[in-house]
Structures are given as C-alpha cells and as structure tokens.
Structure 1
Amino acid sequence: MAVTIRDVAKASGVHVSTVSRAFSAPHLVNPDTRTRVLAVADDLGYRPNRAARALTTGRTHNLGLIVADIADPFFPPLIKAAQAQARARDYHVFVADTDENPQVEEELIQTLSKQVDGVLLCSPRLSGKTIERLHEEVPFVVVNRRLRGMPTVLMDVGEGARLAVQHLTGLGHRRIALVSGPGGSWIGKRMREAVAGIGGLDLVLLGPCPPTEEGGQAVAADVVASRVTGVLACNDLVALGLIEGLYERGVRVPEDISVIGVDDIVPARLNRPRLTTIAMPTAAAGRMAVDLLLQSVDDGDSATVATLQTSLVVRDSTGEAPS
C-alpha cells in the first residue's frame, strides 16, 4: 500500500501538520525536525501529492525560468544552479526560451503565471513598462537588468568592462572598439557607461549586432575598417565569431588586434587563441535569484538588489598594441 503522510508522522514522532509544513513551508519548521521528517519520508518512500498540496496551500511549488536563448552557453550554468537551488527548497523549475523575441517572452510569462508561484526573468528583452504590468500577475526576479522596485540580481559587468579596457590600455592600446549586442540591452548600456570616462581612450562604438558567433563574424569588417587595435565584445560568442572573421581577412589575434569577450563560457577556454574574457558568476546568480524569488513568494515583493562581482580572466587573445 502507498505510504501516507500519517505513516511519516507516526514514524517521525511528530504531528501530521508538522510533516505537511516540512514539505510546504519548511521555514516554519525547526531545521532539525525537518531534516528528520525528510529522512523518514525518504526511507519510507513517501512522495507528497503536489496537486493536493497546491489546493490546500495555494502554492504550486513550481517556478518559471525564462532565458533569452537557451542555445547560448552563458545560460546552462545559471539554469542548472537555479534548478538545484529550487530542488533543495522543494520546488520544480519550468525552463523556457524566448529566442530573443520580446513578444514570445510576454506570451511565455502570461502562460507560466497560471502554473507557477514566481518567474525568473534572465536578460529580458521586454520594455520596463511591460514587465511592470506583468509583474502584477506573478512575482518576478530579474537577472541582469535593473528595474526600479523589483527584486534583481545583477552581475557587475560595468566593473568587468573597466578592468578589460584598463588591461588593454596597459598593453598600449588607445583606439578600442566596443561591440554592443541587441539594441536596448542593459548589459551593453552598462558597459558603455563604465568605459566612457576612461581617460586617454579613443572609443569606437560598433553594433548593435546579434549576440551570436554569426553576429561577431558579420561585424569583423567594421572592426577592420575602424582601425582599432583592441576590441571588447558584448559576449564570448560575438568575440569568438569576430576572431574567425578577422582571420578570414588576414588579421591576426592578438598580434594585429586584441579581443576580449564577456561570460567565460567553456568554448572561450578551448578556442585558439584562448579568449581573454570577463568571467560572469552565472551559477551564483542562479542560486541567488531563486532565493530572492522564494523570499518574495513567502513575504511579499521586495526591492532587493543583489550585485555579484565579475573578474577579468587574461588568456591568449590579448597582447601588446602593434607599433
């Protein structure tokens, strides 16, 4: 016969309501008691009926996670970390991909809002007003986009961009291109703001371009025509595509032009030359976003803004400026 919640309560020496709270509201249960109850439940093979619990508590114990492009290597570490953090809190995660399309993003939010307790929006492309309107339907946490009055997890790409440009100027580069991604990108805006005030720098703005390898290859002609000696790309995929596009035009990296990316994805470490890049704390952002979202679900909306530090990883794609 199937194991019931009463069997778990009896074996744990607690009331049935304590077992229920151990699964549905763990923050209301003494940590030692919850650990004992969960261990007993696991030993007995008990699995709570999520549908019945949703009717009782009004909670689905599901979260939505919407990313701009699931094929971008930047997102899987964030998704994996968010899923693990949610699972530890007895939540499941539904992952959806917008393919950089704001209309699809809005449709996904409206669909998921009926099935989840909250939504994680990663690098959203929607306007701020639209996000604020949709936020009235379901709790949000936004990753890598600053929206007033909404819980947010940011990765300090501005500081990373400053470190990257200072690295290039330290190597003698003075004319440097900043290749931006999609129009209206919060990350692109922060990078421009961060490097605009660096003294002695001739900054060339290129883009916007698709945040893909193809986008990087396409912008290579503009990079060559701009006569820069260093480039900071909006992400690693664009940087890797740019390097390929430069080689096709007989331009060597880093001998002729130095290239820096953003994200520190796995291909950045395997490509030749290995890519100098701004490392983004994606896994930490995924975990923190889940924690902030569940805090909003439990306690109501907050305007908490958590900022995670980035770092510059110097590899082989940057070198001294050509004489």
Structure 2
Amino acid sequence: MDQPPKSIPTIEQVARAAGVARSTVSRAFSRPGMLSPETVAHVMAVAARLGYAPNQVARALSTGRYGNIALIVPDVANPFFPPLIRAAEARADAAGLCVFLGDSDENPAREERLTGKMAAQVDGFVLASSRLADDAIRALRGRRPVVLVNRDLDGLDRVLIDSAPGTAAAVRHLQALGHRRIAYIGGPPSSWSNQQRRGAVLRMAAELGVEAVEVAAERPSYEGGKAAASAVLSARTSAAIAFDDLVAQGLMAGLAGLGIEVPGGFSVIGCDDVLGARTYPPLTTISARSNDAGRVAIEMLLAQIDSGSPSGAVQRLGTHLIVRATTAAPPAGRG
C-alpha cells in the first residue's frame, strides 16, 4: 500500500524545534548577517533535520525579496568567465541566494532580452563585460540593483580589472627583447577591457619608440585568433599581444599552420592568465583576477540590495605580466 505523503514542515515547527522565534528562522534564511553564526548554524541544522525549505514565492510576496540574483556574461565558453562564475556562485550561496546565469553570446539585443525576462524573478544583476548601451544599463538599474564587472559607468557600482599596468609591462618586455614592430589583436570594440588594453599598448609603444599595429579579430575566440595569424605576419610584426588567452592560443595554432614557431619565429602574449600554464609552449600572459571580481561583485550587490541604492563605488583590481615561454628575441632581420 502506498504511504501517505509526509506533510511539509512549517516555519513555526522549525522555530519550536529550535527554541527560537519565528522571525529568527526567517532571518536565518533571508538575512543571516543579522544573526550570530552560531544561531544561523543551529537553525539551519534543525531545518535540515525536519526537511524544511523556505517558500520563495511566499517570501517574495511578504518581503519583496526573491532570493535570486542574475549573472550575465557575454560568452560562457570563454575561459575567463568560469572562475568568475564559480566565485560569484560561492559567495551568493553563502548569503543564501541562488544565481541565475545568462549568456548573451556577445549580442546586446540578446542581453537586453535576458535582463528583461529575469528582472521579474531576481533581486539584482551582475553584468560582466556587458555589451548593453549605457542607457539600457541605466534603465535596468531603475528596475533592479546592478553591479558591473569590467564596464565603467559613472554612478553605478562596478568592479574593474585594470589590465593597463600589465599590458604596459608586456610592451616593455617585448621592447627589451628587441622587438620594434608589434601587433595588438583586439577584442570587441565595445568592450571596456579591450579599450583599456588597446590604449595601454598604443601609449607604451609610442613612449618606447615601438611601432604598434592593430589587427582585428572577428570574434574574441580561438578561431578568431587563428584567423588573425596571416594578418600579423603580413603586417611585418615580430610579436603580438592578444586581447585574451583564447585569442593568443588560436594565434599560436594559426602560426604553426603557417610554419612559424613560437617563440623562435614569433612572440605571443595573452591576457587573463586562464590558459597560460596549460598551453604549449606555456603562454606569457597578463594576470587577471576574475575569481576576485566575481566575489567582490556579489558583495557589492548584496550591500546595494540592503541599502536600496547604488553607492557609485569602484573596486579596482590590479594586474601584472607573467613571463613564461612564448616570448623571445625576434628572428634576425625581423626586429
């Protein structure tokens, strides 16, 4: 005979079993920072033993909080973003929140659709390397709290990985090796990170008397980097700084297909240090702190949700050059 279904435990039952007030159980799930860690741990243990889980719909109706936040990235397959996503999810989970992940596929129209659909279900947004127009981001902020990662927009809370110092160091490194004509393989024109890296390459090259040639990648991807190999050689460069490690990895594959060895025949530098130690040869690259960016962004969003308004704060994370095995002196006659 089938057993009758067990009744779902209520918040009142958890409170009685834990010997605390109903409001304490509610705070343990919705705002644990208001309680001592010991109280939160005790309530959670009792709730787990009874099989209690908060009713998110009811909580949203009573508190205006959904217990969810949204994280939108332009390309979930890009190795830069998984560490950011994992760090963001870990910090959100510690706060009792669920993360809805969206991939805009580098398409601002798709990003706007995603944010529009998610806005009715989340307490706030983290937009990483957003491709939205400024006015679209501000309109979204009018509906929900927003924190930006690698997008600099006055008045909004944002986390900026400052790749300019590491990029400038990359140019100095190539100049010291003897390179006098280098390429910058760019990322999406609307990308804040691309603008910072491009600007740093051009400024430092001009300061050091190095010629810098811009080469566009069709997309910030392995295929985009591979397709750029012919262009960097046609431009008579002896080294290239790529928008990110994925583009750099594609570039090395494209050069290999053309019979050019790295670093003996051509030097390559990536950015973000997400693939550097696992390429062959190991990739010289510019550090990134994507995991720190994910954690800090969630912390800023939590503070904004609690306060009800953005502070306009900026958290800057610095970068540096990591020299490995893909840079060397240029071949004779190509310096």
Q: CA RMSD in A?
A: 1.6
Does residue 147 of structure 2 align to residue 141 of structure 1?
A: yes
Select 2:300's aligned residue among 270, 292, 300: 292
Please say if residues 217 and 228 of structure 2, whose CA atoms lie closer than 8 Å, have aligned partners that are also in contact.
no
CA deviations 1:192-239 (Å, max 9, x no partner) are 222333222221122153101111111111100111111100011111
CA deviations 1:65-109 (Å, max 9, x no partner) are 111011112111111111111111000011111111110011111
Query: How do residues 64-79 of structure 1 correspond to structure 2 at under 5 angstroms?
Result: 64-79=70-85
Does residue 212 of structure 2 align to residue 203 of structure 1?
A: yes
Deviates most, 124-133 or 147-156? 124-133
Q: Note the C-alpha offset of 1:42.
A: 2.8
Deviates most, 81-90 or 274-283? 274-283
Match for 1:264: what amino acid? D
CA deviations 1:105-160 (Å, max 9, x no partner) are 11111111111001111111111122112221221111111111111011111112
Does residue 122 of structure 2 align to residue 96 of structure 1?
A: no
CA deviations 1:239-275 (Å, max 9, x no partner) are 1111111122222211121001112224x32222221
Aligned mates of 2:159, 2:70 — CA distance in 1: 16
Aligned mates of 1:173, 1:158 — CA distance in 2: 20
Query: How do residues 11-90 of structure 1 correspond to structure 2 at under 5 angstroms?
Result: 11-90=17-96
Secondary structure of the structure 2 residue equivalent to 1:149: coil
Please say if residues 216 and 242 of structure 1, whose CA atoms lie closer than 8 Å, have aligned partners that are also in contact.
yes
Does residue 129 of structure 2 align to residue 120 of structure 1?
A: no
Does residue 263 of structure 2 align to residue 254 of structure 1?
A: yes
Aligned mates of 2:130, 2:35 — CA distance in 1: 36
Match in the other structure for 2:242: 233
Please say if residues 180 and 209 of structure 1, whose CA atoms lie closer than 8 Å, have aligned partners that are also in contact.
no
Deviates most, 25-34 or 204-213? 25-34
- Structure 1 ranges of 4+ moved more than 3 A: none
Aligned mates of 2:143, 2:271 — CA distance in 1: 33
Match for 2:226: what amino acid? Q
Aligned mates of 1:150, 1:305 — CA distance in 2: 8
Aligned mates of 2:169, 2:175 — CA distance in 1: 10
Please say if residues 68 and 98 of structure 2, whose CA atoms lie closer than 8 Å, have aligned partners that are also in contact.
yes
Match for 1:65: what amino acid? L
Please say if residues 287 and 320 of structure 2, whose CA atoms lie closer than 8 Å, have aligned partners that are also in contact.
yes
Does residue 231 of structure 2 align to residue 216 of structure 1?
A: no
Unaligned runs of 5+ in 1: none
Aligned mates of 1:311, 1:41 — CA distance in 2: 46
Secondary structure of the structure 1 residue equivalent to 2:228: helix
Please say if residues 117 and 297 of structure 1, whose CA atoms lie closer than 8 Å, have aligned partners that are also in contact.
yes
Aligned mates of 2:277, 2:320 — CA distance in 1: 15
Taking structure 1 as the reference length, the TM-score comes to 0.95
Please say if residues 184 and 201 of structure 2, whose CA atoms lie closer than 8 Å, have aligned partners that are also in contact.
no
Deviates most, 126-135 or 111-120? 126-135
Aligned mates of 1:87, 1:302 — CA distance in 2: 23
Aligned mates of 1:195, 1:311 — CA distance in 2: 14
Unaligned runs of 5+ in 2: 1-6
Please say if residues 174 and 202 of structure 1, whose CA atoms lie closer than 8 Å, have aligned partners that are also in contact.
yes
Aligned mates of 1:75, 1:292 — CA distance in 2: 18
Please say if residues 24 and 57 of structure 1, whose CA atoms lie closer than 8 Å, have aligned partners that are also in contact.
no
Q: How many residues align?
A: 322
Query: How do residues 135-174 of structure 1 correspond to structure 2 at under 5 angstroms?
Result: 135-174=141-180
Aligned mates of 2:203, 2:109 — CA distance in 1: 35
Deviates most, 121-130 or 38-47? 38-47
Please say if residues 67 and 97 of structure 2, whose CA atoms lie closer than 8 Å, have aligned partners that are also in contact.
yes
Query: How do residues 257-276 of structure 1 correspond to structure 2 at under 5 angstroms?
Result: 257-266=266-275, 268-276=276-284
Identical counterparts, % of pairs? 47
Secondary structure of the structure 2 residue equivalent to 1:284: helix
